[in-house]
Amino acid sequence: MSRVELINVSKNYGPLRVLNDVSLTIETGEVIAIIGRSGSGKSTLLRCLNGLEPIQSGTIMIDGVKVNDPDTDLRKLRQNVGIVFQSFNLFPHLSVSDNITLAPRLVLKQSPDQARKIAADVLARVGLADKIDAMPQQLSGGQQQRVAIARSLAMNPQLMLFDEVTSALDPELTGEVLRVLEGVAREGMTMILVTHEMGFARHFATRIVFMHEGKVWEQGPVAETLSHPQTAELKSFLDAVLN
């Protein structure tokens, strides 16, 4: 059973077709880098994967569970699918520790002590052990994003989605976040990243998925796809981002 399976998925916003007959299969342990122009539907794809957005046709399966089925318990599903947003979306009224422990306590019914231990553990993994009692506003953008990653990790998900997690950061802060992502990838996490960091994609992704006009336009192993793009669209996209 594949970890993620999209079969002929289409998604509209009103008259606008944002995902057009997308099919994609992802195996456990893969690290997928999704690239593509602005507006090509990358974020939408991620949001459909954890059921934040409904789809109009097709099928999305995660670990054999159909996401776009009214009978599926999305809450259950989302416990296994972490998502990290471009804009962090930390809870500003909660400390770092409470941000991380909220869901484990409420959803996984962990005891406060247990949850805090896990919080300390995931914070150490993102290199912020000393910030456990800070408030989000006291942290830099890079630190906030690492807390957001830690918050996702604390749920011990089977699959993690990252939507341009470094785009809102100053260049000197992207490095620290990318290093955290590397660590997570090394631990064998199945990851889908929407990213503009081609260097990162080249080193840590197992596969590149190029989206164009709501379609998976081209995909393949990283090195090959980046050095020998098959379509004119990917070629011109790569020319643009790699200068």
Ligand X SMILES: Nc1ncnc2c1ncn2[C@@H]1O[C@H](COP(=O)(O)OP(=O)(O)OP(=O)(O)O)[C@@H](O)[C@H]1O
Judged by the rule CB under 6 A, the positions of this chain that interact with ligand X are: 13, 16, 18, 36, 38-44
Q: Bridge-partner residues for 32, per DSSP?
A: 192, 207
Q: How far apart are CA 38 and CA 10, in angstroms?
A: 18
Q: Which two tokens stand for residue 230?
A: 């098959």
Closest alpha carbon to 184 in 226, 224, 140, 145: 145
Q: Which residue of 14, 64, 75, 232 would you call a contact of other proteins, by CB under 8 A?
A: 75
Among ligand X, Mg ion, other proteins, none, partner that 44 touches (CB below 5 to 8 angstroms by kind): ligand X
Residue nearer to ligand X on the CB measure, 13 or 91 = 13
Residue nearer to ligand X on the CB measure, 53 or 121 = 53
Contact call for residue 107 and other proteins (CB under 8 A): yes
- Measure Cα distances from 68 to 32, 65, 78, 159 in Å: 22, 9, 13, 17
In this structure, which amino acid lies at residue 86?
Q
Contact call for residue 13 and other proteins (CB under 8 A): no
Report the relative pairing of strands 16-26 and 4-13 from DSSP bridges.
Answer: antiparallel
- Which of these ranges, 17-25, 101-109, 202-210, 233-241, lies near other proteins under the rule CB under 8 A? 101-109
Q: How far apart are CA 180 and CA 109, in angstroms?
A: 27
- Report, in Å, the least distance between residue 211 CB and ligand X: 7
How many whole angstroms from its chain centre is CA 135? 24
Contact call for residue 43 and Mg ion (CB under 5 A): yes
Q: Which two tokens stand for residue 145?
A: 């994003």
Among ligand X, Mg ion, other proteins, none, partner that 18 touches (CB below 5 to 8 angstroms by kind): ligand X
- Report, in Å, the least distance between residue 106 CB and other proteins: 5
Binding footprint of other proteins on the chain (CB under 8 A) = 50, 52, 74-76, 78-79, 81-83, 85, 87, 89-94, 102-103, 106-107, 151-152, 155
